[in-house]
Amino acid sequence: MSSEALYKRFMDQYSGPVQRNQILAPYTTYRTGGAADLFIDAADSQEIITAIKLSQGLEIPYFVIGGGSNLLIGDAGYRGLIIRNHVKHLEVKGNEIITGAGEDLDRVVDFATECSLRGLEFAAGIWGTIGGAIYGNAGAFGSDIGTVLDWADLIDVKGHKRRAQTEYFKFTYRNSILKKTGEVAVLAGFRLFPGDKNEISKRTEEIRNLRCQKHPLESFSAGCFFKNAEDPQQPYGKLAAGKLLDDIGAKQLRVGGAAVSDKHANIIINADGATSKDIRQLADILKEKVREKFGVELQEEVICVGEF
């Protein structure tokens, strides 16, 4: 059966709205990328379950996105189904914040502050959604999502839903078991601690100000492109990728409309109508130069999806 026939069957059987040839650039912080053959904006977990089961039954490839902040989608788009995890929910129960995976991480930080709960301050100003933060174990300033996550409801690649405790995720630096299993978080509980609202607010603002100083917030980017390198002699056991990139003159480099930020050598920006190919090629040049000078193989934080 042809792809077009499979797509028609999917659209006939899926009960909610399905977009054909949906341009994906607006759903990424790079504002680049082509179209998905099929696109669903899923507002609840049941929509995600149904879409996964149907796509698997029809053997249509699928990929789940969140806020698009650690994502580079190819200029030729994605052949298959893109599911946008847009599950919203936000409440407090005692010292726990319960949130949908489609909530903005920064919004949850503010919500915790309003509830006088501390523990999420490190995440102030980090782009992306809760789901993406769990998937990639987002973190900063020596802390990460894995230190505060209590549990999460997951949907597996067969469309089955279950609750997993934090130990299941096997969190390491910018990594979780979800990158291997393909499971999708839809709801999460964070164990936090009572604190002084004014002190929590002061700390979150300090962290946001630091980000403003170091990050090109006025430009389209995905934040840091590469992970920091393992080095037990360095603070937090990591050698900053930005330092290595500074030392190879990264801030002077550019490919097409993609450039390295003059604020942070580990951030590639869409400076002037960049394509995903421009960004991908610039990242490859940076990796090669660091490899040649330092013998270090930089690992990417940004996930590349689709056809370039």
- HSE, CB side, 13 Å, CA atoms: give it for residue 45: 21
The helix (H) or strand (E) run that includes residue 90 is: strand 90-93
Give the CA distances from residue 242 to residues 68, 231, 287, in Å, rounded to whole numbers and listed in that order. 22, 14, 12
Hunting for tokens 């080095």 — which residue is that?
231
The tens digit of pLDDT for each residue in 240-254 reads 999 999 999 999 999
Average pLDDT over residues 135-144: 93
In this prediction the pTM is 0.94
pLDDT at position 169? 98
Q: Is the pLDDT of residue 69 over 90?
A: yes
The tens digit of pLDDT for each residue in 205-236 reads 999 999 888 888 778 999 999 999 888 777 77
Which residues are 100's β-sheet partners? 187
Residue 196 identity (one-letter amino acid): D
Q: Above pLDDT 90, what percent of the chain?
A: 91
Q: Is 189 exposed, middle or buried (0-12, 13-18, 19+ CB in 10 A)?
A: buried
- Residues 141, 207: contact at Cβ < 8 Å? yes
Q: Is the pLDDT of residue 276 over 90?
A: yes
Please give the structure tokens belonging to residue 157: 């690649």
pLDDT at position 98? 98
Give the CA distances from residue 258 to residues 6, 277, 283, in Å, rounded to whole numbers and listed in that order. 36, 9, 10
Domains of the chain: 3-85 (3.30.43.10), 90-199 (3.30.465.10), 216-305 (3.90.78.10)
